[in-house]
Structure formats: C-alpha cells, structure tokens
C-alpha cells in the first residue's frame, strides 16, 4: 500500500484516525504502533518480525535509559542505535534493499565519515 493510493487515503487513514481519536489517551501510542505494523504488513509482510525485534530492542533500551545513571544512559542509547543501524546494515545486502532509508544512509555515509578522516568503501 502506498501513501497516495486510494485505499490508503479513503479507507485505511480514516479508520486509523477515527480509532485514534476514540481511544483513551494512554492507548494512543499503542494504536499507532499496531496500525503502523498493519500498514507495513500490507506492503511487505516478510519484515514484520524484524520490525518487532527493533521495536522491542528500542523500547527496552528506552526503559533502561529512564532508570539508569547518566553514564549508563549514554551506553544504552548508543547500544540501541547501534543495534538498529546494524540490522539495517546487515539487511542492506547488494542483492536486496528492504528499507527505503537504507540507500540514502549508504549513499551519504562516506561524506559523514570523511569528516573524521575515515573513508568507507562498499
């Protein structure tokens, strides 16, 4: 499903907005997560397990960041970002590109790392 498609604009989006505004405040984020997963499952259901794993890792890291001392907070945040980028990197093999943002990241990574003096090659 594409954002500009008729089913998305006239069926999916209105249903999500209606449910979002009807549920109590504490359930709003849950509704958005569920419908986001449904949206991505309609487009490419193979990657739902990967998305659930990323959500679990980042949610757990967020809870740990909230409860730890300052220097451990940075550690958990760096680990969560590293795991997320690692998953995208491992899945961005030459024969397939599952995430739309991955090519943009890899296209600009040499420019990002050139500032530190490192040149990465693909």
Domain that residue 112 falls in? 46-122
Same domain? For 91 and 115 the reply is yes
Same domain? For 69 and 99 the reply is yes
Same domain? For 114 and 54 the reply is yes
Same domain? For 39 and 56 the reply is no
pLDDT in tens, the chain (122 residues): 777 888 888 999 999 999 999 999 999 999 999 999 999 888 888 888 888 888 899 999 988 888 877 778 888 888 899 988 888 777 765 555 555 555 555 555 555 555 555 555 54
What does the pLDDT read at residue 45? Answer: 83
Q: Which of 10, 11, 30 is nearest to 20 (CA)?
A: 30
Same domain? For 2 and 38 the reply is yes
Residues 106, 97 contacting (CB under 8 angstroms): no
What does the pLDDT read at residue 109? Answer: 56
Q: From its phi and psi, is residue 117 left (phi > 0), alpha (psi between -120 and 50) or beta? A: left
How many structural domains compose the chain?
Answer: 2
Same domain? For 71 and 116 the reply is yes
Looking from the CA of 50 toward its CB, the CA atoms found within 13 Å total: 17
Q: What is the C-alpha separation between 25 and 88, in angstroms, rounded?
A: 32
Same domain? For 82 and 24 the reply is no
């Amino acid at each position: 499903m594409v954002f500009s498609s008729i089913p998305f604009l006239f069926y999916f989006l209105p249903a999500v907005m209606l449910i979002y505004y009807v549920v109590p405040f504490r359930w709003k984020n849950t509704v958005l997560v569920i419908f986001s997963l449904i949206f991505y499952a309609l487009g490419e259901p193979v990657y739902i397990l990967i998305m659930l794993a990323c959500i679990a890792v980042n949610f757990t890291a967020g809870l740990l960041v909230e409860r730890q001392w300052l220097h451990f907070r940075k550690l958990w945040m760096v680990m969560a970002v590293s795991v997320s980028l690692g998953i995208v990197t491992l899945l961005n093999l030459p024969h397939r590109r599952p995430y739309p943002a991955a090519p943009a990241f890899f296209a600009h990574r040499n420019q990002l790392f050139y500032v530190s003096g490192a040149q990465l090659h693909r």
